[in-house]
Structure 1
Amino acid sequence: MKYKLSLVLTIFCLGLILTSCARADHKVTLEKDSVKQQVMITAQTLTPLAATVTPAPKPLMPLIFLDPGHQLKGNNELEYLGPNSKVKKPKVTSGTRGISTKKTEFQLNLDVSLLLRDILVAKGYRVQMTRDKNEVNLSNKERALMANKAKADLFVRVHADGNDKSTVNGISIQYPIENSSTKTIKAKPSKLAAEAMLKAVIKETGAKSRGIVPRGDLAGFNWSEVPSVLIEMGFMTNKKEDNLMATKSYQEKLAKGMLIGIEQWLAEG
């Protein structure tokens, strides 16, 4: 009898132990599941670090400074040819005039410069101009100093030519050279810009090339501290070129050629 009672008590105790263990295992499982769930929620709510990074600003596009040559009224007051020069020349003239169209050079220069400005801006370049109207009073020295102050990547002076002989025609581009009048001329990059621009303009217009021309006698060059060129778009004293340059379609060809030349020069660095 005692043996049976002992056996029953033993079985009962074993049952209690097993039940307790099962509950403990269940508790552990729940705790693990809870931790797992908490970790998952935390991971889902994390913000990626990359989303908070501010992108670097884009570099500025090159600045092209345009100078439509001349103005409505010339200024015969004198200014020094350069920083180190003792020679003086008139500050600015009003330019030549079309032999056939009677169009003034200062107006032609402005018309083409405005077209060039617009296509440069459309390509993303920064553009400044010495003038956007004819009623100004700016000397050649002052125009160069404006480009210097702006720290232009290229100073483009837009002109048309004239000659006593009406048969003379073609396009040339001038560039500065170091001389006793200058201070800090960018001669080498100016020459490269002149070469690139002339090649492109001749290709676009089909005009005769008169080559690139070094100049040391122009205040607009001698006062310049940035790369600079001066394009002579054609001869207003030549009837054919005068009539061509008066048309918008030809002006657009001139502007496009200048743009292509500028871009090629910039690309070659």
Structure 2
Amino acid sequence: MKVCTQVERQRSEALACPNRGRCPLTFLCGARLDDDKYLLPSFTDVEVGEMVWTDLAARPRVLVVRSGLFVSKVYGNDDVMIPMSLYGQGVVIGIPDVYVPYGASDFYFLTALVPTRLCALDAGFVKDLMARLTIDEAQQLNGCLTLNCNTGMYGQALTLAHRRAREKVVSVLLRLSNQLSRQIGFEGVLPVAQEDIAFLAGVERPTVSRELKKLVREGLIDLGYRHVRLLPPLHEAYGHLIETRLRLYDLRDSDVSW
């Protein structure tokens, strides 16, 4: 296949991506850099439990969560890991590194909760295209990027703020469902381990097991191995929680014109 033909095919695939309406970098992906160059993604698949960051390449990359789910972790006092945020579809990772040299750190981690696919974009090309934006476009882009990242962090803070283990566990389940429901093909099953729920909820693993069994007896969820299905009564009972209504970027609901 000729190089020009392959590039055109890749660009056509990028422009036809079913996730474009939920990706803040929609207007950059597939954009022309010069006469014979376009900003095109490569794909990286990350398995459950694997870690990823933008500095794991010879040339810096900007990463976009195409599907799946990450949890960001940070080491606190006494080497205790703390959950910081959920990163789902449409979250962009590495934009600050485009402008500020990033030093690899062993204090922060991104770990896949479920099989996850990333779009990797060359950071230098992203920077070149962002430099061509108008002030209004740059402000809108920054708002979209910030919305998704802050939604994940705010939701995690709300989960940990609950006093009872029941609300903490339910909060995690609803947040996971909200993130995964944006993805094509999601059928309502959370393919996560109870250890992951315990980590995000800030409670012990036996406590999570006990609370999940209670939810099953009350007809609020179905439970299996790495399988939690949320049933309508759960949403009816806990739909009032703030974290169930947090917004994520969606081009179809905005007035952004790019």
TM tier relative to shorter chain: under 0.3
Structure in which a larger fraction of residues adopt strand: 2
Rg larger for: 1
- TM-score, reference length from structure 2: 0.24
Q: Which has the higher contact order (CA 8 A, sep 6+)?
A: 1
Structure in which a larger fraction of residues adopt helix: 1
